[in-house]
Structure 1
Amino acid sequence: MTRVLIVEDDADIRSMLARGLEAEGFSVGMAGRVEDALSAARDDAPGAVVLDITLPDGSGHDVCRSLREGGYPGPILFLSARDEIRDRAEGLALGADDYIVKPFVFDELVARLRTHLLRRSESEEPRTLVTAGKLNLDLNTRLASCGEASARLTPREAELLAMLMSEPNKPVSRADIFEKLWASQGGLSLNVVDVYVGYLRSKMADFVRHGGPILTTVRGRGFMLDLRGQDFRH
């Protein structure tokens, strides 16, 4: 039975979510503060976390960041009334798997939760290494490396990089990237692709100095991992 940690300061919403998830066959832990959430995540080892942003002693962003930096591997789903694109982008950039806006449909929350849990279970296999030229990406640990340089990626950054690595030296359109990685979430625009390309470029800056590929923009065609004539395999 998968245990889900609900981090929500509103007691009514917290109780509603707990009753609903238990009826769906999950076990539930609850917290209403950042400190309690981190303690529960450490002690109970939940399989997934449903996380509000606004908490009385800090932000859900703090919880997400701490969990990912501590190596927490399970799905993290933000559930928040904040519906601006920048709020969604920030939450996903911190390592969350999904972002659901309040008011929400409970059945949709459960469906997304099950989808992310299924993806996690399917990925729990021996390390999978993707290689493009001198660039390596471990899909299990989400560690990208080139020579002596390395960078830890968020789940979505790793998915984006793997997509570009699968077709090096070939432009991939914003629309294709968005359709594969973000279309199912709703409420996001194509701009989220540019945001994440920016995140990747920043993390890959040291790779170029070690002879790694360049993440380039091909005007009117999208983005491309330019290997500059290197051999590749994937």
Structure 2
Amino acid sequence: MQGKILVVDDEKDICDILQFNLENEGFEVDVAYSGEEALQKLADSSHSLVILDVMMEGMSGFKMAEKVRKEGNPVPIIFLTAKNAENDMLKGFSLGGDDYITKPFSVKEVLARVGAVLKRTKMIQPSFRKWVYGDLVIDMISNRVTIRDEEVPFTKKEFEILVLLAQSAPHILTRAEILNKVWSDNEFVLDRTVDVHITRLRKKLGDYASLIQNRSGFGYYLNTDLKVEK
């Protein structure tokens, strides 16, 4: 068994198609027809990935994803939607989404993106358990960031970017390297997506915002060596 995937869509035909093809690929598949039902299934068991429709009756996919991340669940999320405007994509990624597929879609595309997200999730394995600079702590055991012992509510993508910058410090990461590590070769993700996430990271870091520096024409880096606690 390759993993357990939760498919969330209020259109039964789409759920049936995805369930049939994912199970043929060796995945165990849960199905939910609403955001409320999906949240219950996530609470009752662990999943490797969620395929989540954005435009559903009742709770939207965006609202559900926001709740999932606020609860501290880092499960990868692939948004599935008929909306393909850039602002909608950026909103999905800012809420902690890992990929964004527009309808109508091909089953082969979905399977390829599921494989890419799962592979990428396994690749992002930090080389440290806890990274400390002053009162800023990146804790990989609990997947939390705290400043002066108060938790900072990062999305999954924001957290992964910060971890990558910390692992690479003081070396520079280009936008392309960040995209490849965090979003892989997703053609729907723009360079601007990295800048949007960095802006949000800096805002949430508050007094530590200046840690993240940009070198024009190169990329982003942390401007200090951080202490590593093995």
Match of 1:38 in 2: 39
Mapped partners of 1:103, 1:38: distance in 2: 25
Q: Which residue identity does 2:103 align to in structure 1?
A: K
Match of 1:65 in 2: 66
Post-superposition offset of 1:108:
3.0
Q: Which residue identity does 1:222 align to in structure 2?
A: G
Distance change in 2, residues 1:125/1:184 (3 Å): closer
Mapped partners of 1:197, 1:75: distance in 2: 20
Distance change in 2, residues 1:76/1:43 (3 Å): same
Match of 1:89 in 2: 90
Mapped partners of 1:222, 1:123: distance in 2: 19
Mapped partners of 1:166, 1:127: distance in 2: 8
Mapped partners of 2:118, 2:169: distance in 1: 30
Percent identity (aligned): 31
| Structure 1 gaps, min length 5 | none
- Do the aligned residues in 2 keep the contact of 1:133 with 1:233 (CA within 8 Å)? no
Deviates more, 1:213-222 or 1:195-204: 213-222
Q: Counterparts of 1:99-114 in structure 2 under 5 Å?
A: 99-114=100-115
- 1:217 equivalent to 2:214? Answer yes
Post-superposition offset of 1:53:
0.1
Distance change in 2, residues 1:223/1:117 (3 Å): closer
Aligned to 1:184, the other structure's residue is in SS state coil
Q: Counterparts of 1:46-61 in structure 2 under 5 Å?
A: 46-61=47-62
Aligned to 1:99, the other structure's residue is in SS state strand
Question: Number of paired residues?
Answer: 227
- 1:232 equivalent to 2:229? Answer no
Aligned to 1:104, the other structure's residue is in SS state coil
Mapped partners of 1:107, 1:141: distance in 2: 35
Give the TM-score of the pair, scaled to structure 2. 0.82
Post-superposition offset of 1:56:
0.8
Post-superposition offset of 1:169:
4.8
- Do the aligned residues in 2 keep the contact of 1:164 with 1:225 (CA within 8 Å)? yes
Distance change in 2, residues 1:192/1:119 (3 Å): closer
- Do the aligned residues in 2 keep the contact of 1:142 with 1:153 (CA within 8 Å)? no
CA displacement 1:53-79 (0-9 Å, x = unmatched): 000113101111122222324222111
Mapped partners of 1:185, 1:95: distance in 2: 15
CA displacement 1:117-175 (0-9 Å, x = unmatched): 34556778997223456643223433223444441322221221122223435544334
Q: Which residue identity does 1:217 align to in structure 2?
A: N
Post-superposition offset of 1:8:
0.8
CA RMSD of aligned residues (A): 2.9
Distance change in 2, residues 1:124/1:226 (3 Å): closer
Mapped partners of 2:124, 2:172: distance in 1: 27
| Structure 2 gaps, min length 5 | none
Match of 1:207 in 2: 208
Deviates more, 1:171-180 or 1:117-126: 117-126
Match of 2:14 in 1: 13
Distance change in 2, residues 1:36/1:147 (3 Å): closer
CA displacement 1:147-204 (0-9 Å, x = unmatched): 4444132222122112222343554433433343335111222111110111101110
Aligned to 1:217, the other structure's residue is in SS state strand
- Do the aligned residues in 2 keep the contact of 1:131 with 1:165 (CA within 8 Å)? no
